Amino acid sequence: MLKRTNKSTAHRKFSPSGALVREPASFELSFPNRGTNKQIEEGMLFMPKFSGNGLIPCVTRDVHSGEVLMLGYMNREALSLTIQTGYAHYWSRSRNQLWHKGERSGQSQPVREILIDDDQYCVLLKVHLTSGASCHVGYRSCFFRRLERGDDRTAFRASLSGAQQGVRPLQGIRWAGA
């Protein structure tokens, strides 16, 4: 069962300019302790595994096309906020802070489904892509490059994926953060 606690901070500032960004009150959900393997793998309780650094990986897909958009990480607060607000929140490992996806870039991710894998080690979000792009570089997916097999069959060179070449960065999408 998900039980709300109020031990977490109430409000978060996201704006780099220091302007107060209104966010719903932030509080962490109390996720159940990890159970037996059977409970974890086949039970109906949501028991996400936050690893030693307190993070769980999250694969995010387009709910319509199924395309993988990105891989992110969530701490308890980010996952709680994602569940409660219906918008994807992550933990930014580069900035070391809570990351409300789209708060700066406009590339928000309204969540349509939240799934977890068998051992509850990885979250899967199915989101509705609002801006046409998810990656801060401007592409629909962060996975817009493809490794090509080299002549010696061991060396690979990076190139734009053929499937993505027609999808140029959208004008007006800018990234203010790291």
Residues making contact with Zn ion (CB under 5 A): 135, 142
Strand partners of residue 56: 74
* Cα–Cα distance, 101 to 105 (Å, whole number): 8
Closer to Zn ion by Cβ: residue 14 or 143: 143
Nearest distance, CB of residue 1 and Zn ion, angstroms: 35
* Cα–Cα distance, 91 to 51 (Å, whole number): 13
Closer to Zn ion by Cβ: residue 71 or 115: 71
Structural tokens at position 139? 């592409």
Contact 57, 47 (CB under 8 A): no
Closer to Zn ion by Cβ: residue 74 or 135: 135
Other C-beta atoms within 10 Å of 96: how many?
9
Nearest distance, CB of residue 11 and Zn ion, angstroms: 27
Half-sphere exposure of 147 (CA within 13 A, CB side): 7
Nearest distance, CB of residue 131 and Zn ion, angstroms: 13
Nearest residue by C-beta to Zn ion?
A: 135
* Cα–Cα distance, 134 to 132 (Å, whole number): 7
Nearest distance, CB of residue 167 and Zn ion, angstroms: 13
Contact 134, 125 (CB under 8 A): no
Nearest distance, CB of residue 144 and Zn ion, angstroms: 8
Closer to Zn ion by Cβ: residue 56 or 135: 135
Closer to Zn ion by Cβ: residue 55 or 135: 135
Contact 77, 98 (CB under 8 A): yes
